[in-house]
Amino acid sequence: MKPCTATFEHISYWEFFKQNYTPKLKEVDLLIKTMDGALSIEEASRILQMSDNLIKKIMAEKNIKLIDKDGLLNLIMHGNSPLCGLLQREFSRGSPSMYSSDDIAYIYGLQKENVERVCQTNAKIPAKDLPKALDKIFVYIMKQGS
């Protein structure tokens, strides 16, 4: 058996975000905008990247009968996946149209010092310019090798 090797890649947070969050966020957004029925537990599990058992547990605790738009939003607000966490933090800040360095660090789980290096501490960044700011913040991600 070959030992597993891991390497680290240094990429912009924006690239990381586009690879890991953008497809799911688009899927959730489109689903909420077009949803007219209920999702199965399995489909909600796939979309929100949570286990079926956790979905069932949240549904029981929060008295969610159907995974319709309201049920899906309720699952997002109580889920524990990275996707749900990101959305919870965004919602908790009121989905601002202008982001402070504190907002960016909190919502995206970035070190405040790294965000402040890119953004002036007290400056507000318009939502449309957020990708440019996130593209200047670099993170290391682990790549599994064989």
Spans of the chain, pLDDT less than 50: 146
CA angle at 83 for the pair 72 and 88, rounded to the nearest 5°: 70
**For residues 146 and 4, what is the distance between their CA atoms, to the nearest angstrom?**
5
**For residues 132 and 129, what is the distance between their CA atoms, to the nearest angstrom?**
5
Tell me, what's the pLDDT at 54? Answer: 97
Tell me, what's the pLDDT at 140? Answer: 83
**For residues 85 and 70, what is the distance between their CA atoms, to the nearest angstrom?**
18
**Residue 137 neighbours by CB distance under 10 Å:** 21
- At 13-38, the pLDDT tens digits run 999 999 999 999 999 999 999 999 99
